[in-house]
Amino acid sequence: MNPQYIPPYRVLPTTGGNQNFQNVPLTGPPTNTILNQNGQSVAPPNLPSSIKPSGMQSPFSRSAGSPSLNVSNTSYAPPGNVQFTEKQNSQFALGRGPPTQFSSQFSGNPEILSNIPLPGQQFPPNINTANQTPHFNGQSVQNNNIISGPPSSMSNSLSHPPQLTNQKPIPQSQSQFESSVSGPPRMQNVLLTGQGSPMLSSGQAPPLGQPPQISTQAPLPSNQGPSLQQPPLPNQAPLLAGQVPPLPGQPSHFPGQAPHLPGQAPPVSSHGPSLPGQIPMNINRQPPGPNHIPPLPGQMTSQFPPSQGMNRMPPLPNPVTANQTPGLPPGPPLPGQFPPPGGQYGGGQHNLVNQMQGMNLNGPKSGILNQGYGNAPVAQGYPSTTQMGGGYPQPGYPQSGYTQQQQKRLDPDSIPSPVQVMEDDQKTRSGPFVTNQKGLVPPLVTTNFTVQDQGNASPRFIRSTMYNVPITQDMMKQTTLPFSLVISPMAKLDEKEYPPPIVNFGGLGPVRCIRCKAYMCPYMQFIDSGRRFQCLFCKATTDVPQEYFQHLDHTGQRMDKYERPELVLGTYEFVATADYCRNNVLPKPPAIIFVIDVSYNNIKSGLVSLICSQMKEILQNLPIDQGHEKSNMKVGFITYNSSVHFYNIKSTLAAPQMMVVGDTQDMFMPLLDGFLCTPEESESVIDALMEQIPVMFADTKETEIVLLPAIVAGLEALKASDCTGKLMVFHSTLPTAEAPGKLKNREDRKLLGTDKERTILNPQTQAYNQLGQDCVGAGCSVDLFVFNNSYIDLSTISQVSRLTGGEIFKYTYFQADVDGNRLIKDIIMDISRPIAFDAIMRVRTSTGVRPTDFYGYFYMSNTTDMELAAVDCDKGIAVEIKHDDKLSEDEGVYIQAALLYTSCSGQRRLRILNLSLKTCSQMAELYRSCDLDTIINYIAKQSTYKLLDHSPKAIKDSIVNRAAQILAVYRKNCATPSSAGQLILPECLKLLPLYVNCLLKSDALSGGSDMTVDDRAFAMQYVLTMDVATSVNYFYPRLIPIHDIDASKDTEIPTSIRCTIEKMNEQGVYILENGIHMFLWVGLGANPEFVQNVFGAPSAIQVDIERPHLPELDNPVSIAVRNLIDEIRLLRHKCMRLTIVRQREKLEPVFKHFLVEDRGSDGSASYVDFLCHMHKEIRNLLS
């Protein structure tokens, strides 16, 4: 596609076809016309041959006085006294209780839903008011949710802590947090309330010790006092003594239920005895009894010895003894229930209620266990799962076949749903996203949007954790919100978007600031009639080169502004001059070298034969540069076992020549001419070589092999050819041969999850780190394709990929007939995707802030420049920004990321990414403009990096504490004054507890002895490279129902559902994928017709689950399902292996490990449990 350019909305068109930038007349303000460069670069006026650039400096030369790297950790300061004057929106809560009363200190008019009715009560007819749009199950409901708790015994109430200060009533005129865009209602602030005694005033903290309860509360108008006595609405049952009227349009009782009668007892928690007529339900795990439900087929029970390694996120200490409730048979815990004894944060006796369906789940009848999570001991980390037992508990499925599921439980729909958030964002923010405003928060990465670049870089290239930056460092420390960027400089664009235009200044080179070396961009201000420009990054003034001079118009803008991409766009490229190249010499096209392990394991598995047979197809997918018709990259081939073999594939040869280097201690390049050739020139020689290699090594018995000398061979080959490029290394075994880089087997799974795990997650030798640095120095990137049947020490050998910007692909127990297709797709994807070679990236910021910490796959030889031998479209690099001075509230923050690289055609270029952010002095502005997906990506990278130096417990505790501090500061400083026991989540961060819990559960942070050391290392490396879109899908996998797929329509990925067993049933078939794993779960009750069409089996029980792919059947349903799987794989940058899982069989516990909203088999918290734990932590901070 020719590079094209979309000017802002005012450029006037010229007549005729495609216009060059220089041909656009500037006769007035621009219009909405698309102009392109007709495949040519923008050129300045013709330069005399005598003019040469003078004083050109290194593209990333450091100016005097540049700040040094500061690696100090963010401090976790207690909430301060920043005041906030903004109306709070909606609220949200768990559990249920008696009527809630407000203190007269409130400056509002609360309308609280009265007691949750008991079974038999009825809903009144719908009562519609003008301001009601949300609906739930056909009933109009208010958009504000509160979580409060049941009554507790008086002995459990503590004296009130000191009152919170600096909370003012919020003026009604202040703007809301809720979106002004039309669309479905979005849950606003989520609110969790501990309740026992009547609600406290804004200055008081509630008594600790009460579980939560669901009710609803409207935002409090500031001009009214509490009014609890109101006449009943039409068709509404009269209010009883002590009741509070419902909100307009809100039911006072439920369908099929009798009204709440006078004298009827409210629901009772575990704190006291049950009242007459109330049957408490025990939520604790029961010992086996006469009615004990046996384990399902394939289910592991907890009678096995405790597993040392099931330690992804063990429960917090607070064991509770099981109590048998009279009249109820014991059974396993139900989905949605709180954890069994000792199992979850702060104890297990929570009274959870589904407000919408009147479902009740009461605690034990005994009054002994009257401790709620509110006054549970503060968690001291995450104890070992040896307390839990190592079995895989089997949550039931929500369908009639499971009798234990008939007991009622908390409705998961009452807490914030990521699926709903993504759907709402898709409805309200899909379509064009115009980047013409400073600090404009972009749509979610899951939303389908098209970027129109008008001064700020596309969010596909660069995202910030916040788009409104606090002006002081104190506010940053107080909130503990990270200010960081996640940059994917080579990201793929939507098919409707144009690639960044390429600007060629000829010998002049890019125009830059004289002091900070920032590149010309829309933020530069021209002064002195256009003879000078002021840099907004460092405030310095620079003379405009004569060749670049242009007069200014009456508004102070250059006359040619809309003809120059660098003056109006956020992303563009400059053609670099020789000053920006190695040794001041323009580069050659990069090369790709295939380095293939031909030892016994790879011959036996069929890998060598597979790669050789598919090499012709692979080479047809070499990357093609923008504006070119074919690739001009060269290729070379090396094989190795205990020695290294080079191949001469010069096109003039009748047959390829092989040269063997047996001295692996001192590797050298035995031939210069003929090693690297283009596939077109040497096609016949390459074909002959690919036929000979499998035959030559067919009878090999070598099992002790080298690795480091083979990589050195590829590096020396690129050096000898004086070009940069990539090594694609196909390796199978721990390198144990006597040679540099020899490794020993040090696998010890038992250390995973303990304080000693870093001894096996850090490299055992620095040889591969040194090799990685040598590769970066030569512009040589290394991609590792690992085919291990046993321990291969990925922690050590991956260092060469990490430092060179490469990638790791892992195929354990590889068999060519099973995994071959997946491997070839991965290889083709890897070499064909957009990529930059021999790159250096620097991030510049305006004064007051500076980049300090960097996380990702790269090497840094100083404190500012990231050196990347290669960076592709799927890599994300996190950069933390910190304050070093107070900011101006008027100017904002300006960021420029510059990537100097060699394109796949051999052209040296600079890709410039510009981003402008707002600044603010109010916390509310900060919390309104956060990007949660980017925050989680950054925290994940930072935590994974720190795991190599700190214990996993310390890392996880710091994540939880940071999340609690973020929400507690918001609650204290930004929320409407209300009970201090309420957890209020800001709109942008309402999924923070869920995503933090998913992060804590992930294999990268919590992988224990139930996985191999190599698998754990692979997960950690994957997190370090992922961009924002990949991390969202990795931490919260997609669960897609396919049993209702419409085969008559074009393949469209069905809407995903929440990642919990609650949303599945045994009649369904579901795909679960997270970018690495893809499962196809088949319920035993699945429709036989669907099963026959897709699997070729008459029923689910007869489906062949050992097969890694679906049979190719000639019917519309089979075609639609296979196309769907292919489409999902295309969205990820790895071809995921399909694992078929049948309900209740051996692989189901593995599948359930990825249902992240449920309680983990290792005792890790469910979403609901963790929300309650966060509630407790925040209340502790507030009190």
pLDDT of 552 > 90? The answer is yes
Q: How far is CA 999 from CA 390, 1074, 1172, in A?
A: 22, 13, 17
The pLDDT of residue 626 is 86
Structural domain contains residue 1119: yes
pLDDT of 31 > 90? The answer is no
Report the SS3 class of residue 1092: helix
pLDDT of 338 > 50? The answer is no
Confidence of residue 163 (pLDDT cuts 50, 70, 90): very low
Of 58-67, 762-771, 835-844, the one with minimum mean pLDDT is 58-67
The pLDDT of residue 411 is 61
Residue 486 structure tokens: 């996640």
Q: Of the residues 874, 890, 920, which one is the last residue of a structural domain?
A: 920
- For the chain, give the percent of residues with pLDDT over 70: 65
Structural domain contains residue 91: no
Where b means 16+ CB within 10 Å and e means fewer, 906-927 reads bbbbbbbbbbbbbbbebbbbbb
Q: How far apart are CA 192 and CA 212, in angstroms?
A: 7
Q: How far apart are CA 250 and CA 976, in angstroms?
A: 22
Q: Is the dihedral of CA 117, 123, 129, 131 positive or negative?
A: positive
Of 407 and 550, more confident:
550
Of 166-180, 665-679, 1140-1154, the one with minimum mean pLDDT is 166-180
pLDDT of 1110 > 70? The answer is yes
The pLDDT of residue 1048 is 80
DSSP state of 264: P
614 shares its domain with 708: yes
Residue 953 structure tokens: 């417990």
Confidence of residue 437 (pLDDT cuts 50, 70, 90): very high
886 shares its domain with 793: no
pLDDT of 126 > 70? The answer is no
The pLDDT of residue 981 is 67
pLDDT of 139 > 60? The answer is no
The pLDDT of residue 1051 is 73
Residues 1102-1114: what's their mean pLDDT?
Answer: 94
625 shares its domain with 746: yes
Q: How far apart are CA 1175 and CA 963, in angstroms?
A: 11
- For the chain, give the percent of residues with pLDDT over 90: 61
685 shares its domain with 809: yes
Report the SS3 class of residue 1026: strand
Confidence of residue 42 (pLDDT cuts 50, 70, 90): very low
The CATH number of residue 510's host domain is 2.30.30.380
In the numeric block, the tokens 């109009």 are attached to: 140
Q: How far apart are CA 1031 and CA 943, in angstroms?
A: 14
Q: Which of 151-160, 248-257, 1027-1036 has the highest mean pLDDT?
A: 1027-1036
Map 131-198 to HEC letters.
CCCCEECCEECCCCCEECCCCCCHHHCCCCCCCCCCCCCCCCCCCCCCCCCCCCCCCCCEEECECCCC
992-1001 and 932-946 helices cross at what angle (nearest 10)? 30
Q: Of the residues 802, 832, 862, which one is the last residue of a structural domain?
A: 832
Of 1142 and 168, more confident:
1142
Q: Of the residues 875, 897, 920, which one is the last residue of a structural domain?
A: 920
Of 545 and 404, more confident:
545
Confidence of residue 672 (pLDDT cuts 50, 70, 90): confident
The pLDDT of residue 166 is 41
pLDDT tens track for 1048-1057: 877 789 999 9
Where b means 16+ CB within 10 Å and e means fewer, 956-992 reads bebbbebbbbbbbbbbbbbbbbbbbbbbbbbbbbbbb
pLDDT of 397 > 90? The answer is no
1058 shares its domain with 1128: yes
1135 shares its domain with 1170: no
In the numeric block, the tokens 């040194």 are attached to: 770
673 shares its domain with 687: yes
553 shares its domain with 578: no
Of 59-63, 452-456, 559-563, 567-571, the one with minimum mean pLDDT is 59-63
Structural domain contains residue 219: no
The CATH number of residue 964's host domain is 1.20.120.730
827 shares its domain with 839: no
Structural domain contains residue 1097: yes
Structural domain contains residue 282: no
Structural domain contains residue 380: no
Residues 992-1005: what's their mean pLDDT?
Answer: 97
Of 893 and 176, more confident:
893
Of 1080 and 166, more confident:
1080
Q: Residue 951 contacts by C-beta under 8 Å, 6 or more apart in sequence?
A: 754, 755, 758
pLDDT of 291 > 70? The answer is no
pLDDT tens track for 260-280: 444 444 443 334 443 333 333
The CATH number of residue 1142's host domain is 3.40.20.10
pLDDT tens track for 171-223: 433 333 333 333 333 334 445 444 333 333 333 333 333 334 333 233 333 33
Confidence of residue 412 (pLDDT cuts 50, 70, 90): low
Structural domain contains residue 687: yes
1011 shares its domain with 1052: no
pLDDT tens track for 814-862: 999 999 999 999 999 999 999 999 999 999 999 999 999 999 999 999 9
916 shares its domain with 1048: no
Number of domains in the chain: 5
Report the SS3 class of residue 536: coil
Confidence of residue 301 (pLDDT cuts 50, 70, 90): very low
The pLDDT of residue 651 is 93
684 shares its domain with 563: no
In the numeric block, the tokens 């897609």 are attached to: 1040
Confidence of residue 765 (pLDDT cuts 50, 70, 90): very high
Residues 397-426: what's their mean pLDDT?
Answer: 66
The CATH number of residue 719's host domain is 3.40.50.410
Report the SS3 class of residue 696: helix
Give the mean pLDDT of the chain. 75
Pairing of strands 657-661, 644-648: antiparallel
Side chain identity at residue 157, one-letter code = S
Nearest CA-CA partner of 1156 in 1074, 1041, 1066, 1042: 1074
The pLDDT of residue 1183 is 83
Prediction pTM value: 0.71
Nearest CA-CA partner of 407 in 362, 364, 369, 348: 362
Q: How far apart are CA 890 and CA 910, in angstroms?
A: 30
Confidence of residue 11 (pLDDT cuts 50, 70, 90): very low
Q: Residue 1162 contacts by C-beta under 8 Å, 6 or more apart in sequence?
A: 307, 310, 311, 312, 313, 314, 385, 388, 1006, 1008, 1010
Residue 887 domain boundaries? 414-502+570-589+835-920
Nearest CA-CA partner of 773 in 729, 728, 804, 727: 804
- Decide: residue 269, CB within 10 A, 0-12 exposed, 13-18 middle, 19+ buried: buried
Q: How far apart are CA 575 and CA 907, in angstroms?
A: 8
Structural domain contains residue 188: no
pLDDT of 812 > 50? The answer is yes
The pLDDT of residue 984 is 86
The CATH number of residue 880's host domain is 2.60.40.1670
